[in-house]
Amino acid sequence: MKSNIVMAWRNLWRNKRRTLITVASIFFGVLLSTVMSSMQEGSYSSMIDNIVKFYSGYIQVHNDKYWDNKTINNTFEANQALVQNIEEVSDIVNYAPRLEFFALASSEEITRGSIILGIDPVKENQITEISKWIAEGEYLTEEDDGLLVGFDLAKYLQLSVGDTLVMIGQGYHGVSAAGKYPIRGILKFPSPELNKQTIYMELSNCQEFFTCENRLTSFVLMIDNQYQLQRTKRKLEEVIASPYSIMSWDEMHPEILQMVEADRAGGVFMKAILYVVIGFGIFGTIMMMVADRKREMGVMIAIGMQRFRLAAILFFETVYIGFIGVLVGFVFSIPIIAYYYNNPIPIPGDAGKTFTDMGIEPLLYFSWLPSVFYNQVITVFVITAVIAIYPVITANKMKVHLALRA
């Protein structure tokens, strides 16, 4: 066996040109599939990051009854023990408290149902960067008694910065909620739904409006990236129990997860086509190698070499070529992906403007996940190993008298 392995290695370099052509086909296969996978995973991560940073966060902590029945009565008290448990989880980089409910927004005889969001202005801005959507006026300050109103809602109510908005609703345990508030700023989001119905208040002001002092509907938590999500959620579940529940973004927005999975399925199909092309490319070069050496193999069998030994040598030659090809492809893909990971590709023209209007950076991101690399290396190497069966079959079925005439 050892002599077969040594002979296979030496045979590779008897015809360096043929070997390098075969290695090159595998090298480009690994490189293309790795870059494609990195771009695909980077796009998913970017899309998810933009969605969670825009509103929901990666994880939210609620009262365990809140998600099924989103009323002001299913809020929880923001105690120091809960805050301390959240802060002890090292993966969490930011968190913000929220109080969210509904009320009627009114201006003279015009009214519209609206979502009221009580926020800590500083912490909320660290997570969602809401201040960048201010179209008119200014952002809220701590203990501010004013409001931020969605652009379309303000237009419908015929109000502008400095005007007074009347709100009427139902507070904690059925008490009446009513108040008049000055408009500090107008928000213009990429989302039409948010523009039509969203009002932001400073948290303590909102708690006073709904008569639910020190109560919240959620803590919104941020982590560095989605790949830490499940680990962070498990850590939180170890320190936070009933009457609280912990929900990740994919549980709160299953439609987004379905969209990503559907797109991922399309990506798998495209990669499958790429692997077929790669496979046929490798198979073509191996066929060329076998055809070129047909007379040589016939002579070796004619002078007494056993067929199974010749088949073993050819198999090891193909495996060597596959190993060299995937190794070189892996090594060369690292600096390429590292560069584009740190320097995303700008999306120009109308496509870039569309991304910007949606509140998404017009950049094509790449992923640095280890699976992006090793999945492609393993897949292409397995394809090469399967193709290595061809020279084995050829050696076993070769007719010597025809091979000698080749």
- Does residue 57 lie in a domain region? no
Domain residues for the domain of 366 are 2-52+257-404
In three state form, how does the secondary structure of 181-202 look?
EEEEEEECCCCHHHHHHEEEEE
219 lies in the same domain as 307: no
**Token pair 């480009």 in the structure block, residue:** 28
pLDDT < 50: residue spans in the chain: none
- Does residue 304 lie in a domain region? yes
Q: Which residues touch 190 (CB under 8 Å, ≥6 apart)?
A: 357, 358, 359
- Does residue 95 lie in a domain region? yes
- Does residue 345 lie in a domain region? yes
- Does residue 246 lie in a domain region? no
The domain boundary, picked from 217, 241, 265, lies at 241
User: Residue 401: what pLDDT?
Assistant: 60
User: For 375-403, how does the pLDDT look when each residue is reduced to its tens digit (9 = 90+)?
Assistant: 888 888 888 888 888 888 877 777 766 66
The domain boundary, picked from 241, 268, 295, lies at 241
43 lies in the same domain as 70: no
**Token pair 């107008």 in the structure block, residue:** 186
The domain boundary, picked from 189, 214, 241, lies at 241
CA 359 to CA 319: how far, in whole Å?
49
101 lies in the same domain as 194: yes
86 lies in the same domain as 219: yes
Q: Which residues touch 171 (CB under 8 Å, ≥6 apart)?
A: 72, 177, 209, 210, 211, 212
265 lies in the same domain as 379: yes
Q: Is 116 left (phi over 0), alpha (psi -120 to 50) or beta?
A: beta
202 lies in the same domain as 297: no
141 lies in the same domain as 209: yes
**Structural domains counted in the chain:** 2
Asked whether 406 and 299 are in contact (CB, 8 A), the reply is no
95 lies in the same domain as 134: yes
